[in-house]
Chain A
């Protein structure tokens, strides 16, 4: 079942909560809807589900306009943040509810429930009532119930939010396969960029009530459309340095920490106020001053999960973070030199925040 949103708008009182969203999800695809809290993600799911109606625009499911179609007739399964489990039923009965309603045989129901519960690692709590479940278990029970119905369209609102880190990691590996096996068309909402990159072939980044960029994880991480998106993906966060490109021997020259760095192309950016984005993992320590390197003073070094993060300060006072695998040598204290992988450097227009590309200015505009 394919899903199309055409220029959806929704206001609550005078606030625009959805400001012109157009989106298309193919049959069997999992599209990740990623964004900070308050972006409008949950409202968008509620619109698709038919719980609320858009002010403007159309929602099409499998070639059919959903205007006036009741939520229960849309063929949509949902797992929302507030669980909404039946309190008087145990977890197994909750998961079986959609199947019981369809009058499937009890052996079929039991085997479906057990299969899904095993995948979501809640088989040991199947006979617990919702009030005896932890939040993470409630959330997985709600997810299991949504999956058991095998709906053709599945809306999942941050289904791993309350799950602990270890289990979340395991689910992140297994859920994509489970969803693929179900052949459902899925919109998967998350606020965790790693989950977004792991779960979806395509990610729609939502912010300020509209979709800012849609693309593969590589499109978004390597070519973020604007500064905000660049900051939402990556840990540690991308370094941003104010620069004013000048004409250079081979493209443009920018000053970092008082040192000239050459970037190919970008001639149209000369003289404009820009921001250079440098991913912490694309900075490398070099032994001494080499061409294209700049000096920093190291403040602290922190070991984070097999990755060492160094906090350093440039000569112009900006804080820079550098990350490297723990087994790779670096600099521990004092003055150090950093080289930039210029192919990974991102240049943004300071005024608009949009990404500039070497040949074509204002690519995102």
Chain B
């Protein structure tokens, strides 16, 4: 608790009364260390924005505690929390130009005029807004306002920087360029930032850790690669990853040293017993019926294997997305070449044992990832 920059303990948020209201956030606990960038990721209505607004102080806390830099703050007004914010609707001062809007954030600091100007220039260059510094907020576009507001937040030194969909209004080309730069800037300045986004590419690109939320509940809180390689449950597995993870119900059996996953329609994926560690085999056999998950990049075409028929082959410039009819469902595979594969073509699919994710069909909880237990 002390030592960490942010600690959320058992946060609940009800809109309306605790007995009859709608619960937007459920028993949410999380710790953020100094210098970390955290993304709250989820679809609309998952509770991510409510969580951020509670940290900022814009929304009351129904139950639980918030500690910022060791101080308990849930009953303090926003200005007393020492947080810098870029929120939609948390608008720029309309009566001063963009430069002064950004510089205003440094008013309380003891910097000289020259130092303030240098900081404002630095952040403006990073966000490509040097050309609008003399303009007034009402005369610039939505995307420019968003970057000005982001500059005003990032130029400050605060305990926490809270960013709500910071690039939501920007054109995709600018977004790709800026996400790398913003990360670099936050790291150089040693800031601690929490951003809310529904865009997983942005979360992956910017964050050290992603908090995946669904229906008010924190589903997983881990690094992007951990979430990709070891999704905690079916929700995280299928929500994070583009194209989404393929999932199929399967029935497990071992006979004569061959480990088989029986899929719908008589198809099977077969492995040597030794492809999986003993505890993994035992756990899968203990369940019998499981759900297997395979990422589209891990489905490979081979000379033999389980049969599938190509439905669509869509080439997107740097990769091809192939959808095929497989085990009563559609399976998606990704190839990096502009590969052949015509509609109606018969192909054979293989999945390497280390790319196989196995889930409990009842709870959705992960049972194993490749050769290891979940």
Contacts and interface: CB of A to CB of B under 8 A. Distances in A.
Given A165-B200, A197-B314, A237 B173 contact: yes
Contact of A305 (B179, B238, B239, B242): B242
A311 interface: yes
A198 B43 contact: no
Interface residues of B, number: 42
A280 B319 CA distance: 12
Interface string B183-203: 110000000000000101100
B85 to A, nearest CB: 25
B180 interface: yes
B173 A299 contact: no
A300 B317 contact: no
Contacts of B180: 299-300, 302, 309, 311, 321
Given A173-B330, A299-B184, A300-B184, A197 B315 contact: yes
Given A237-B176, A302-B205, A305-B204, A173 B238 contact: no
A351 interface: no
Contacts of B205: 302, 304, 309
Contact of A173 (B45, B172, B201, B311): B311
Nearest to B176: A236
Interface in B301-330: 311-312, 314-318, 321, 323, 330
A169 interface: yes
A220 B314 CA distance: 15
A176 interface: yes
Contacts of B43: 164
Q: How large is the interface on A (under 10, 10 to 19, 20 to 34, 35 or more residues)?
A: 35 or more
Interface stretch (A11-19, A63-71, A227-235, A332-340): A227-235
Contact of A234 (B177, B201, B318): B318
A103 interface: no
Interface in B327-343: 330, 332, 334, 336, 338
Interface in B62-89: none
Interface string A279-318: 1110000000000000000011011111101010000000
A145 to B, nearest CB: 23
Given A177-B312, A307-B318, 15 more contacts: A36-B171, A134-B44, A166-B238, A166-B239, A169-B243, A169-B244, A198-B321, A217-B316, A217-B317, A232-B173, A281-B318, A300-B183, A303-B225, A306-B241, A306-B334
Which 7 pairs of residues, A with B, have the shortest CB-CB distance?
A281-B318, A198-B314, A237-B173, A306-B297, A311-B180, A305-B242, A221-B317
9 contacts: A164-B44, A173-B332, A197-B314, A197-B316, A197-B317, A281-B336, A304-B205, A309-B180, A326-B297
